[in-house]
Structure 1
Amino acid sequence: MTAPVFREFLEQNPNVEIVMVSRKNFESLFSDIPNVIFKGVNLDEYKGFFGLRRLANELMKEFHPDLIANLHDVIRTKVLDKIYRRKGLKVFKINKGKEEKEHLTNIWNLNKIQLKKTVERYADVFREMGFKVELSHQLRPSSIVKSGIGFAPFAQHRGKMLPLEKSYELAKILAQKHKIYFFGGGKNETETLAKWEREIPNTQSLSGKLSLTEELNKISELELMISMDSANMHLASLVGTRCVSIWGQTHPYAGFLGFGQSENDVVQIKDLSCRPCSVFGDKECYRGDWACLEEMNIQKIVEKIKI
């Protein structure tokens, strides 16, 4: 979610350069953004306080940063913040709105409201530094001819994932009119989607077959992506592809709707007062019946597509 913010921030502040420090496998998310230098690190090589101090020193020596933006605010980055401050650098960090999110996900809170979008929280870090940045919240579709629908039926946590039998039925319905490309990741997902490809005509599984760069290129060629509240929604945003997103325990109110994606393309059960009960979809169901996902009507997803 940082990448579209970087793009628009740097367009508005062309004299700035960002050194993005993250895991090596995320490099292709930033490869086409001018003025971003990507530094991939293997965190296993920088364990504990002394490892992080070595990382901080290496980054300072290599890049000589003027300001530090902590867009993650986890234990590791908190330690790095202290090291940089001791060295006289100004550090600016994201306000994640933890208390607001705890209130939002309290099942007894019946007054649910939209919280600040996460991309705006990232932009706030740059604003605090003194820069101006206004986010467009608009997709930038690629100019290539688009065809087919992408479908990513998996998510990291159960609370975000439509039951597989519903996803299977949805794929069968959509494949009657559209070529469907399945996206997934791990071994079990790849095996499941290979089975679906064999059983459902007019489908193709790309799970386990593409690099991240190739996956982004393929998503950019699609007419539409269908995803849970998961990474594929954000990948679609990065390449300007419209995404119909499916939400269970989680809710766009927490601020994680993909950059530029329309709220009209959100599929969710609105009349469950317990929703959202989780920011990340990693909690057990309070009711015990996973109604937010089990009661989802796949026809509502079909109706959203309109292509």
Structure 2
Amino acid sequence: MRLLVVRFSAMGDVALLLPVLVSVLRRHPDVQIDVLTRPKLASLFEGIERLRPVPADVDGEYKGIGGLWRLGKHLQIRQYDYFIDAHQNLRSNVLKAIAHLQGVRCLSISKNRKLRKRFIRERAAFALPHVTDMYATPFRQLGLDTDLLPPPYLIPSAEDEQAIDNFLTSVALLPKSSPWMGIAPFAFHENKQWGVHKVEALLRLIKERHPEWHVFLFGGGKKEAALMDALCALHPGRAINMAGCLSLRREWLLMHRLDAMLSMDSANMHLAALAGIPVVSVWGATHPHAGFAPLFQPAENMIQRDDLDCRPCSIFGSKPCVRGDKACMERIEAAQVMARLEKVVLSV
């Protein structure tokens, strides 16, 4: 059985496809899956038997309806037994229509939009299905076993391992002699960010209590890189700004070597969890029960304020704070996060 699965964005959502696909492939040796996604995300699916990333520049070469029609011809969609729309946006719907015209059977996820609205209206009075369950539904309709296997899901090549070793040697971190932890301070939406000032306070606590810890700071873009440079200056010689140091795939593989990751509700939270390491996450405008909790992580590692009747205020953290003071984040103190990190790191 040959399947074409489509998901273009966002990074965290695309990454969460991987555990579903890997679990299906390991249980069903007669299945082959191609994943259509943006070029910068295609590397997340490399190196796995019978899983082939298909990069497509839908913002350039295949932009617009005409571009998607050319993409459909390039893909030779009729070679597939099934087209699985794991995105449900305009682009994927156009490609699904092309697949249907070519006689390919199509299945789609359901985003549960009505249930999501009720979840926000009732302030997380119940839990939504995890997004991986949403992704698994079309595969279950095909009679495939989708029970998630445990991480890690990404298999490093010898070249990957050597590149990571070379980087760690260049910053004098090999051989490893003390705990390594990651911090991903940023998220796409501001209301999902704890705040640089809070991370500064946390780094001061780390330097004070555990000066031997090495901290890897994860983020991208010029603005974030500059902020992370300033954060590294608070723990000189022990904090490393990872911006631009490794490819996305190798940055993800490096996470597998960390003792823990601190993250916002962001792509890095999911990448770290899928790498199979402990993840401490900080939640503000959003809520783990909305279906985006990091996989295989205990509830006590998800830090949030349960005493505010205004949260969660949105599924994705895209709405402005109705209070204007970001209390959901501001009332989470560095000492509270530090205590959880110490419990996680020192128990590894």
What interval of TM-score do these two structures reach, taking the shorter chain for normalisation?
Answer: over 0.9
Work out which of the residue numbers 283, 299, 303 in structure 1 matches 2:339.
303
Equivalent of residue 329 in structure 2, options 277, 293, 301 = 293
Partner of 1:182: 217
List aligned pairs for 1:43-62, cutoff 5 A: 43=58, 44-60=60-76
Say whether the 8 Å CA contact 1:46–1:52 is kept in structure 2: yes
Measured after TM superposition, the shift of residue 140 of structure 1 is: 3.7
What's the counterpart of residue 262 of structure 1?
A: 298
Helix, strand or coil at the partner of 2:76: helix
Provide the rounded CA distance (Å) in 2 between the counterparts of 1:150 and 1:255: 24
Deviation at 1:69, TM superposition (A): 0.7
* Contact map agreement 2:192 2:283 (CA 8 A) in 1: yes
- Contact 2:283-2:304 at 8 Å conserved across structures: yes
Q: CA deviation at 1:198?
A: 2.0
Distance in structure 2 (CA, Å) of the matches to 1:250 and 1:23: 26
Give the distance between the partners of 1:110 and 1:256, measured in 2 at CA.
16
Q: 1:200-242 CA distances to partner (integer Å, 9 max, x unpaired)?
A: 2321211222211221122111000110000111111222121
Distance 2:304 2:137 in 1: 29
2:250 aligns with 214
Q: Residue 259 of structure 1 aligns to a residue in which SS? A: coil
State the match for 2:197 in structure 1.
165
Question: What amino acid does structure 2 have at the position aligned with 1:171?
Answer: L
Q: Give the AA of the match of 2:188.
A: Q
Stretch moving more, 40-49 or 224-233: 40-49
Q: What is the Cα deviation at residue 167 of structure 1?
A: 1.1
Deviates more, 1:257-266 or 1:224-233: 257-266
How far apart are the structure 2 equivalents of 1:8 and 1:270? Answer: 34
Alpha-carbon RMSD across the aligned residues, in angstroms, is 2.0
| Residues 46-88 of structure 1: CA deviation (Å, up to 9, x unaligned) | 1222221221121126x81110111111111111111211221
Is the 8 Å Cα contact of residues 245 and 267 (structure 1) preserved in structure 2? yes
Instruction: Report if aligned partners of 1:174, 1:180 keep a CA contact under 8 Å in 2.
Output: no
- From 100, 109, 128, the equivalent of 1:85 is 100
- Whether 2:230 is the aligned partner of 1:195: answer yes
Moved more, 267-276 or 146-155: 146-155
Counterpart for residue 320 of structure 2: 284
Query: Please, what TM-score do these two structures have when normalized by structure 1?
Result: 0.93
Aligned residue number for residue 35 of structure 2? 20
Further displaced range: 221-230 or 111-120: 111-120
Per-residue CA shift, 1:131-168, capped at 9, x if unaligned? 222124x44499x9894010010111111000210111
User: Residues 93-112 of structure 1 correspond to what in structure 2 (within 5 A)?
Assistant: 93-106=108-121, 109-110=122-123, 112=125
CA distance in 2, matches of 1:12, 1:261: 24
Matched letter for residue 129 of structure 2 = K
How far does residue 243 in structure 1 lie from its aligned partner after superposition? 0.8
The corresponding residue for 1:275 is 311
List 4+ stretches of structure 1 deviating above 4 A. none
Provide the TM-score with structure 2 as the length reference: 0.82
Q: Name the CA distance, whole Å, in 2 between partners of 1:269 and 1:149.
A: 24
CA distance in 1, matches of 2:100, 2:249: 36
Residue 111 of structure 1: how far off its partner (Å): 5.8
Q: What is the Cα deviation at residue 275 of structure 1?
A: 1.2
Residue number in structure 1 paired with 2:129: 116
The separation in 1 between residues aligned to 2:42 and 2:315, in whole angstroms, is 26
The DSSP-based 3-state class of the residue aligned with 2:233 is: helix
Cα distance in 1 between the residues matched to 2:332 and 2:39 = 37
SS in 2 for 1:45: coil
More moved, 200-209 vs 120-129: 200-209
Q: 1:131 maps to what in 2?
A: 144
Report sequence identity in percent. 33
What CA distance in whole angstroms lies between the structure 1 residues aligned with 2:39 and 2:143? Answer: 30
Please state how far the C-alpha of 1:110 moved relative to its aligned partner. Answer: 4.6
Give the AA of the match of 1:60: Q
Moved more, 171-180 or 161-170: 171-180
SS in 2 for 1:245: strand
Distance 2:152 2:241 in 1: 26
Unaligned runs of 5+ in 1: none
The 5 A counterparts of 1:216-255 are 216-255=252-291
Equivalent in the alignment of 2:187: 155
Give the whole-Å Cα distance in 2 for the aligned partners of 1:175 and 1:68.
Answer: 52
